[in-house]
Chains A and B, each alone.
Chain A
């Protein structure tokens, strides 16, 4: 009896120690999660803080009299005349109406530099589309110059340098007060390709490029990855060759992505003579990079199909092929899809291999096919982040936000698909 009591005491004492240990262990876990969450939060806060202004554009709205004499233009449909015409003149004239005292040549130049380089071409495009507007007065919304934009959005921000003269700053202040200079949602960002001018640069080209590239990657890596996984898991004989292949697939998953870029450069462009900077080559390279991830996760998914289901199917006389097609693949599909989507999300954020195959070029046009020059979101971000104009800094952050949105949607899709397909259990 006493023996028992003392034993109970020992147990009780050890319990205290065990609980302490457990509490400490849980605390470590909590700490780890807090650190991860804090880092993530800081990252997001920083990006949003820097980048939210990228979603805002600065415009100058003017009543422009499209005077044919001022522009040296009688017929907007005549290309020769257009190339000689001065579309800037009516805009500056309209600005001068706000500041009648500024009429020297240097003042006129200073006024004109408030507008973006593409202001003149906006007027030209308007006249090409509607030649009848010649000699009428139109209210036109024109992009402000990057310097004006920085001044309007970041006058108080020490990270930005204001590059307007005192005179220009006074003008801008006045125009803002009058409502001529205004800020609004930056629809240019989602409707244009890249540009030398931040006010005119958009991510649409990069988004389309990314989508085309991802499509190629998906079409190649998903079926090939799943076929490889199914073969290795279900049909391959257990021997040295299979082991060798297995080891190499695992190794491939760890190969730095830039190596795949070199491979793409050497094989697809060098050997097969495919064009540079095109989504097809980018997609092929990323498909090679994604394959190991898809194969590994698909094999894990196939392995997790309970053997009892295989036996059940074999028991009623299903052939190996039928067991795999009717039971194993459908049951492993959620896992395969999740793995593939995560692989695709990785590929979406990949920059290094694409730099090597020339997808880093400055491309203004929005790609219209798999063989037209394109760039992708992460490369576009890289390009903007490394450019010197101040306006591109916020655009880069805005681009990061767009990229993150895409990735989060893909991950959400993966979770949704898994949940949906798993309900069949």
Chain B
């Protein structure tokens, strides 16, 4: 259990904090987690998402165990935790991307602006237009750059005229910081771009339908440091107008871009707090072990 993911171990090694030898007799993974008990500040005064007692099952296996959390309006919140801790699963509940997995069941109350996300009467298409998503691997459609960005507005009928659509495409590409690079080759296929450009294109594509929330599932894990820096800059810019939820394996990234950080462990939400507090003075023993690189 808790074998180190190579990426995390490398990051963890880089951290200068001394390894505490004193806790050797007490292994952090032996800590009993009290279910549904989250230390720190899981709730918010002005929540965009209100998530209460969320549980997710894959068949019989319980992947998410009684998590309650608020995600504030125009907040950037980072989900961190070891591989398989459920942070991606939890993220995907927020726009019902888990729906396409037959064996997946979600329990509890999840509300976006006080409207139940999992209401059977709720149209998932409308939900996803409001809650956009950017994936781990850049996944542009094998179409032109223009068509990639225009796809969302087209299917939702957001533009009545070609000129309106052109404006939406330009604005989205500008916000994603891709306009200067792409304006002369809007008709070129998106798959010919570099990985970083592709990921920014995917962000532009998500922005194009003017969502209120953007979910990012490890958006930089396939990018080089320069492209990563570019995307992080973008997240900072976007945080003014969007609520952003980002899953990341890089603690530095969480520290750089997020306002609050949530630490997940084996399907539990262990600790949520302001990002600087989580990284400087974690309250829970497991959080501390994780950010100091004692396990991954």
Chain A positions within 8 Å of B, measured between CB atoms, are 238, 306, 308-319, 322, 326-327, 331, 424-425
Contact = CB atoms under 8 A, between A and B. Distances in A.
B7 interface: no
Interface in B261-278: none
B95 interface: yes
A331 B140 CA distance: 13
Given A311-B139, A312-B139, A425 B151 contact: no
Interface string B202-226: 1001101100000000000000000
Contacts of A425: 142, 191
A419 to B, nearest CB: 15
B100 interface: yes
Interface string B105-128: 000000000000000000001111
B129 A317 contact: yes
B95 A315 contact: yes
Interface string B127-152: 11100111101011111000000011
A425 B189 CA distance: 8
Contacts of B209: 316-317
A308 B137 CA distance: 8
A314 B97 contact: yes
A308 B151 contact: no
B191 to A, nearest CB: 6
Contact of B141 (A238, A313, A317, A319): A313
The 5 closest A-B pairs by CB, nearest first: A316-B152, A308-B139, A315-B133, A317-B128, A317-B129
Interface string B184-203: 00000101000000000010
Kindly state the interface size class of chain B when it binds its partner: 20 to 34
23 contacts: A308-B135, A311-B135, A312-B139, A312-B141, A315-B97, A315-B128, A315-B133, A315-B135, A315-B206, A316-B128, A316-B132, A316-B206, A316-B208, A317-B126, A317-B152, A317-B155, A317-B209, A318-B125, A318-B151, A318-B155, A327-B141, A424-B189, A425-B142
Given A317-B155, A331-B142, A425-B142, A312 B135 contact: yes
Nearest to B136: A308
Nearest to B215: A315
A319 B125 contact: yes
A322 B152 CA distance: 11
Contacts of B205: 312, 316
Contacts of B152: 316-317
A425 B152 CA distance: 20
Contacts of B41: none
Contact of A314 (B100, B126, B202, B208): B100
Contacts of B151: 313, 316, 318, 326
A202 to B, nearest CB: 47
A242 to B, nearest CB: 12
Nearest to A237: B102
Contacts of B256: none
Contacts of B142: 309, 331, 424-425
B25 to A, nearest CB: 36
Contacts of A326: 151, 155
Nearest to B96: A314
A314 B141 contact: no
B19 interface: no
A364 to B, nearest CB: 52
A424 B205 CA distance: 19
User: Which of A315, A322, A424, A425 has the most C-beta atoms of chain B within 10 angstroms of its own C-beta?
Assistant: A315
A255 to B, nearest CB: 32
Given A238-B102, A424-B142, A424-B189, 13 more contacts: A309-B142, A312-B205, A315-B133, A315-B134, A316-B151, A316-B152, A316-B206, A317-B129, A317-B156, A319-B125, A322-B155, A326-B155, A327-B141
A317 B132 CA distance: 8
Contact of A316 (B100, B137, B155, B191): B155
A315 B132 contact: yes
Interface string B153-191: 001100000000000000000000000000000000101
B155 A309 contact: no
B169 to A, nearest CB: 13
Nearest to B99: A314
B97 A311 contact: yes
A94 to B, nearest CB: 71
Contacts of B126: 317
Contacts of A424: 142-143, 189
Nearest to B148: A312
Nearest to B102: A238
Contacts of A238: 102
User: Which of B142, B156, B202 has the most C-beta atoms of chain A within 10 angstroms of its own C-beta?
Assistant: B142
A312 B148 CA distance: 10
Contacts of B132: 315-316
Contacts of A312: 135, 139-141, 202, 205
B128 A309 contact: no
A326 B141 CA distance: 10
Contacts of B133: 311, 315
A311 B97 CA distance: 8
A313 B152 CA distance: 8
A317 B215 CA distance: 13
Contacts of B202: 312
Contacts of A308: 135, 137, 139
A234 to B, nearest CB: 10
B185 to A, nearest CB: 16
A318 to B, nearest CB: 6
B221 to A, nearest CB: 14
A238 B156 CA distance: 30
A330 B141 CA distance: 11
Contacts of B140: 312
A322 B134 CA distance: 19
B148 to A, nearest CB: 9
A327 B152 CA distance: 13
Contacts of B143: 424
Contacts of A327: 141
Contacts of B135: 308, 311-312, 315
B243 to A, nearest CB: 16
A316 B141 CA distance: 12
B139 A309 contact: yes
A388 B182 CA distance: 73
User: Which of B97, B128, B189 has the most C-beta atoms of chain A within 10 angstroms of its own C-beta?
Assistant: B128
A327 to B, nearest CB: 7
